[in-house]
Amino acid sequence: MNIPLQPTDHQSGGPAPHKNQITLHVNGTPRTLEVESRVTLLDALRERLDLTGTKKGCNQGACGACTVLADGQRTLSCLALAVQYDGVEITTIEGLAAGGVPHPLQAAFAENDGFQCGYCTPGQICSAIGMMQEFRSGLPSAVTGDIGDEIAELSEEEIQERMSGNLCRCGAYIGIRTAILSAFYSEVTR
């Protein structure tokens, strides 16, 4: 009797994992891929789409190096499964510049020494963009006074708290906060 064999995963000898076809809208371009359910958004971006600006740091959601924007909200891509983001607009560090002109926050990081080795910088910048949007929307942080009151200013204390999920091993926090304040207040005055 001939029994048809299932395709196997060469590493485990078990059945081959199911692949899902998804479309990620990355930096304004739809990208269709086939991924296993267990593939993280970070690995899909780096290994399948060759967008290596997003960094793999801790791979546990503790350092923020992998932060990208998903429909404008900051997301730790190492904790996100790619299949969850089917149809979602993903913005990586590579998608921030417009026509070769750096995003204002990218320029502010360069002007204000917001980085040293640069490994965490893509995640810092993407997180800061999302954080500024959260602030503009009136979302409070742990250091915000009365939640019912309007948040008056984006202070260094607010930035420090709101960016606490993004670590910098080099300790460039002063330059990072200065860059964020510079970009935020130059955008407000435009």
Per-residue pLDDT of the chain (190 residues), as tens digits, is: 555 555 555 566 667 778 999 999 999 999 999 999 999 999 999 999 999 999 999 999 999 999 999 999 999 999 999 999 999 999 999 999 999 999 999 999 999 999 999 999 999 999 999 999 999 998 989 888 766 666 678 999 999 999 999 999 999 999 999 999 999 988 754 4
Residues 105, 88: Cα–Cα separation, whole Å: 23
Q: Kind and range of the H or E element at 106?
A: helix 104-111
Q: How many domains, in total, are found in the chain?
A: 2
Q: Which domain holds residue 91?
A: 19-95
* pTM greater than the 0.85 cutoff: yes
Q: Kind and range of the H or E element at 31?
A: strand 29-36
Residue 186: predicted pLDDT: 86
The single-letter DSSP state of residue 83 is G
Residues 118 and 161 in one domain: yes
CATH number of the domain where residue 88 is located:
3.10.20.30
Residues 182 and 144 in one domain: yes
Residue 9 resides in a domain: no
Residue 13 resides in a domain: no
Would you say 30 and 90 are in contact if contact means Cβ atoms under 8 Å apart?
A: no
Q: How far is CA 85 from the centre of its chain?
A: 13
76, 95, 114: which is the final residue of a domain? 95
Torsion angles phi and psi, residue 141, rounded to 5: -115, 180
CATH number of the domain where residue 185 is located:
1.10.150.120
